[in-house]
Structure 1
Amino acid sequence: MPKFIQLQEHDNVVVALTALKAEETLQINGETLTLQETIPQGHKIAIKAIEKNEDVIKYGYPIGHAITTIKQGSRVHTDNMCTNLSGIENYHYQPKLTNSKRFEQEERFFNGYQRKNGDVGIRNELWIVPTVGCVNGVAEHMLKQFIKEVEDIAPFDQVLVLSHQYGCSQLGDDHENTRQILSDVVHHPNAGGVLVLGLGCENNIVEDFRQGLGEYDQERVQFLVTQFVGDEVAAGVRKLKQIHKAASQDHREPISLSKLKIGLKCGGSDGLSGITANPLVGEFSDYLVAQGGTTVLTEVPEMFGAETILMERAENAHVFNKTVAMINDFKAYFIKNDQPVYENPSPGNKDGGITTLEDKSLGCTQKAGTSTVRDVLKYGERLKTTGLNLLSAPGNDLVASSALAASGCHIVLFTTGRGTPFGTFVPTIKISSNSQIYQKKPHWIDFDAGKLLSYQKEEVLDQFIDYIVAIANGAKAKNEQNDYRELAIFKTGVTL
């Protein structure tokens, strides 16, 4: 395995692919470089002297500037460089569409569930969706009693309560966000049936919620307000049994890979995330788009500093303007709350070798590959356009992953260099940027992208595609095996 990588020809830093010792020598561009200090894996090394205020170049782009002169062979990190970012910017549409034909369209299928409205699911689950957090405990009791009484939940794969803490004492956008996300959940094709469970006095009124759903399968979606009945558990179990009966003939059948919708997310990133895991996911995104499928990139604050790359790939001026609005609206949200737009990366990111938000963003956005951006979704919007989409949501792992699932994604691909166990309410596949965390946490991590440092990219990509198809066919992701499921909703305002 090589000791370092220079990502672009004109970069003035390289990245250590393994821990390196002080006074160790490297051969870079035909010259001998002597390390001035110990360099941890994933951290940057100056391959020339970088003067004070000079830009640090990585991925071919500035990731900040030196705040003091950085000697050749020294580590480049938070003690000697900082971000170039400030506030809201003006942008101009300068399209650079790739029209890449790297991937052939294949006749490839997965075995999924065809829904009555034309949607398809990769899971057949029965969900209890509370309209308010007050009934989370009742829902759990109801679920246990239902399982006890039916003995066999088939054809459902799983019965879940998608608990959350909201649905009351919320105003404005927060109230609408809760209602919209829960509505998206009810419509999700991985659910073969849903019981919407309310209390009766919350401001997320069940009847208003029902009317706001639009068209839905009345055999598969039932409603219960616990204050309106005597024994709410018995009443709920009866409704769950009705849904169970309606689903009795559900079965998997071959469905084109073009129907897959995949969310793209990262968390606990390190200095190798933008070299292994994120580019692998980007290759998969381009592959799936070539098959006619759909991918979605989110976590807007982790686009800051790399947003112009996405803007250049906007399909047209309309999509470009929606991208600009998404970026600047999120920056305005930071400024409104008296927070700097560059308050990132996290302590764990920095420990792993990421120094500035630009450094993080240029690695993060590689999950979107090189495809054309075809649409931009607001928070809570559901997918309506195939191909690569952008989604407005924060960087928070649980909130962003829930937003991806709510938009209609069947699976969330989650790259990580530090590791994380959580999962949202759809399969949440963890892809490690380094092999060490994969070996340390095999019960968390689904796929090791660290082997890209030793194996051919095409070989690893083929293995990864096969793995995603296996998950779509019903193989359980690690978060499903561990029964880690979370629903997190974005909150911005006042709680009564």
Structure 2
Amino acid sequence: MKQFYQIHPKDTVVVALQPIPAGTVLDVDGKELTAVNDVPPGHKIALKEMKQGEPIIKYGFPIGTAARPIQRGEWVHTHNVKTTLGELLDYTYTPDFHELEAIAPRSFQGYRRKDGKVGVRNEVWIIPTVGCVNSIVKQIELQSQQFLTPELDGIFCYTHPYGCSQLSGDHVNTQLALAGMAHHPNAGAVLIVGLGCENNTMEQMKKVLGEYDPERIKFMICQESEDEVEEGVRLMEELCRYASQFRREECSVSDLVIGLKCGGSDGFSGITANPLVGAFSDLLVAQGGTSILTEVPEMFGAETILMNRGKDRQTFEKTVDLINNFKKYFMRYGEEIDSNPSPGNKAGGITTLEDKSLGCIQKGGTAKVVDVLSYGQPVSQKGLNLLQAPGNDLVASTALAISGAHIVLFTTGRGTPFACPVPTVKISSNTALSQKKSGWIDFNAGQLLEGRSMRDVAEEFFNFVVEVASGSKRAKSESLDKRDLPIFKDGVTL
């Protein structure tokens, strides 16, 4: 294995691929570079002397400036680098995108719903309108397991603490989240359970839902039932019978919607796992499919790349609003825009938010941006979409599912076991993690550092995701608890 990796020819740093002790002499394009300090794997080494205030280039873009003079061969990290992120900025639309060459779409085995949508799982879901009935829906879920058939992939309730004592935007977010779940094609049938006195009334929920199939979605208000668990189980028997009529059939991958997310990133994430997911996204979009990129705070510092990939000026303006409105959200609470990266990110070699963001957006590949979605808005345009959601793993991954993602591809350098309501595929940035946490990790992108080409690994990974979509393989997170519904909150609770 190589000792270091230079991502872009313009970079003024290289990334250590293994521990490099002080005094180690590296051969960089035929020139000797002596490590001044011990450098951990995933961390950066200066290729040249840098004056205080001089930009530090990684991925071909600045990730910050030198906080003090930096020697050639010195370890480059938080102790000698500072961010240059500002607050609200003005942007100019300079289109910089290309059309992907179309590819004949492959097929997978999915569930074709009566409304024409396609699902990759055939589950029955129980969704509470308010957190007060969480214990009830858990009991209904437990007692309804008797109705499982070979045609059903599972029966799950999705609990949350919201639906009452919420105002304005938070109230709307909860309703949009629940409606997005109710309409999700991975659910063959849905039971929506309310209490009866919450401000998220069943009448309001039905208005937000819009048109629905009464055979597929049923409702129950606990205060109106003498035995709410018994009534819920009776309704679930009907719903399970309805959902059991669906069978897998051949579907085009152009029907797939895939969410793109990262968490617990390290210095390898932007070199291996994120570019691999970006290559997957390009392959999917080239076949007429759809991908969704989120984590708006982890676009800060790399936002102009996405803005200039907007398909037109309107999409550019929507991306500007996406970025600046999320900055205003930080500012309302007196928080620093560059509150990221996390301690774990820094330990793994990520120095500034620009460093993290430039690695993060690699997941979006090279396709043009076709639309920008607000939180809870269902995806409607095929191609690469941007979605308003925070960086938090659980909230952002669930936001992707709410907007219609069938599967979430989750890259990580440090590992995480969590699962969101849809299959959550974990891709490790390094081989050591995939070996240590084999019960969490589905695919190892670390092999890109071991001689395999991106073309070959991307093809293998695409085939793997198609198998997950077809049900012939399961994401490892599907065996874990996925019964929470983290909803984005911003505001007063009464």
Mapping for residues 6-25 of structure 1, pairs under 5 Å: 6-25=6-25
Q: 2:56 matched to 1:59?
A: no
**Which residue type is aligned with residue 333 of structure 2?**
N
Deviation at 1:122, TM superposition (A): 0.3
Q: Secondary structure at the match of 2:50?
A: coil
Residue 455 of structure 2: aligned partner: 458
Match of 1:473 among 436, 458, 470: 470
Cα distance in 2 for partners of 1:198, 1:15 equals 53
Cα distance in 1 for partners of 2:198, 2:402 equals 22
Residue 481 of structure 2: aligned partner: 483
Cα distance in 1 for partners of 2:318, 2:56 equals 30
- Kept in 1, the 8 Å contact 2:44–2:75? The answer is yes
Cα distance in 2 for partners of 1:223, 1:165 equals 19
Mapping for residues 193-204 of structure 1, pairs under 5 Å: 193-204=189-200
Mapping for residues 202-213 of structure 1, pairs under 5 Å: 202-213=198-209
Consecutive aligned runs of 4 or more in structure 1 exceeding 3 Å deviation = 483-486
Cα distance in 1 for partners of 2:244, 2:456 equals 41
Q: 2:115 matched to 1:117?
A: yes
Cα distance in 1 for partners of 2:481, 2:341 equals 29
Count of residue pairs brought into register by the alignment: 492
- Kept in 2, the 8 Å contact 1:422–1:485? The answer is no
Q: Secondary structure at the match of 1:253?
A: strand
Residue 313 of structure 1: aligned partner: 309
Residue 145 of structure 2: aligned partner: 147
Residue 419 of structure 1: aligned partner: 415
Deviation at 1:29, TM superposition (A): 2.3
Cα distance in 2 for partners of 1:471, 1:176 equals 33
Kindly, what percent of the aligned residue pairs are identical?
55
Match of 1:136 among 134, 140, 165: 134
- Kept in 1, the 8 Å contact 2:105–2:254? The answer is no
Deviation at 1:147, TM superposition (A): 1.7
Match of 2:167 among 164, 171, 183: 171
Deviations 1:329-367 (A, max 9, x none): 001111111111111100000000000000000000000
Residue 268 of structure 1: aligned partner: 264
Residue 108 of structure 1: aligned partner: 106
Cα distance in 2 for partners of 1:186, 1:100 equals 33
The alignment's TM-score, normalised by the length of structure 1, stands at 0.98
Residue 408 of structure 1: aligned partner: 404
More displaced 10-residue stretch of structure 1: 473-482 or 430-439? 473-482
The alignment's TM-score, normalised by the length of structure 2, stands at 0.98
Mapping for residues 18-417 of structure 1, pairs under 5 Å: 18-101=18-101, 105-148=103-146, 150=147, 152-417=148-413
Cα distance in 2 for partners of 1:489, 1:397 equals 12
Cα distance in 2 for partners of 1:283, 1:327 equals 24
Cα distance in 1 for partners of 2:431, 2:339 equals 29
Cα distance in 1 for partners of 2:43, 2:314 equals 39
Measured on the aligned residues, the alpha-carbon RMSD in Å equals 1.0
Deviation at 1:485, TM superposition (A): 4.3
Cα separation, partners in 2 of 1:341 and 1:107, compared to 1, 3 Å: closer
Cα distance in 2 for partners of 1:120, 1:301 equals 31
**Which residue type is aligned with residue 118 of structure 2?**
V
- Kept in 2, the 8 Å contact 1:479–1:485? The answer is no
- Kept in 2, the 8 Å contact 1:127–1:160? The answer is yes
Cα distance in 1 for partners of 2:177, 2:245 equals 29
Cα distance in 1 for partners of 2:314, 2:367 equals 17
Cα distance in 2 for partners of 1:156, 1:299 equals 32
Cα distance in 2 for partners of 1:3, 1:207 equals 62
More displaced 10-residue stretch of structure 1: 263-272 or 480-489? 480-489
Cα distance in 1 for partners of 2:149, 2:206 equals 26
More displaced 10-residue stretch of structure 1: 254-263 or 135-144? 135-144
- Kept in 1, the 8 Å contact 2:418–2:480? The answer is no
Residue 3 of structure 2: aligned partner: 3
- Kept in 2, the 8 Å contact 1:422–1:486? The answer is no
**Which residue type is aligned with residue 405 of structure 2?**
C
Q: Secondary structure at the match of 2:291?
A: strand
Cα distance in 1 for partners of 2:10, 2:223 equals 67
Deviations 1:406-425 (A, max 9, x none): 00000000000010000110
- Kept in 2, the 8 Å contact 1:130–1:198? The answer is yes
- Kept in 2, the 8 Å contact 1:314–1:374? The answer is yes
Cα distance in 2 for partners of 1:85, 1:313 equals 21
Residue 441 of structure 1: aligned partner: 437
Cα distance in 2 for partners of 1:8, 1:473 equals 37
Cα separation, partners in 2 of 1:10 and 1:211, compared to 1, 3 Å: closer
Cα distance in 2 for partners of 1:57, 1:411 equals 34
Q: Secondary structure at the match of 1:375?
A: strand
**Which residue type is aligned with residue 236 of structure 1?**
G
Cα distance in 2 for partners of 1:384, 1:230 equals 42
Deviations 1:207-264 (A, max 9, x none): 2211321111110100000110101011001111111222232100000010000000
Deviation at 1:286, TM superposition (A): 0.3
Residue 494 of structure 1: aligned partner: 492
Deviations 1:434-472 (A, max 9, x none): 111111111111110001111121221111011100100
- Kept in 1, the 8 Å contact 2:100–2:286? The answer is no
Deviation at 1:107, TM superposition (A): 4.0
- Kept in 2, the 8 Å contact 1:97–1:313? The answer is yes
**Which residue type is aligned with residue 120 of structure 1?**
V
Q: Secondary structure at the match of 2:125?
A: strand
Cα distance in 1 for partners of 2:334, 2:362 equals 30
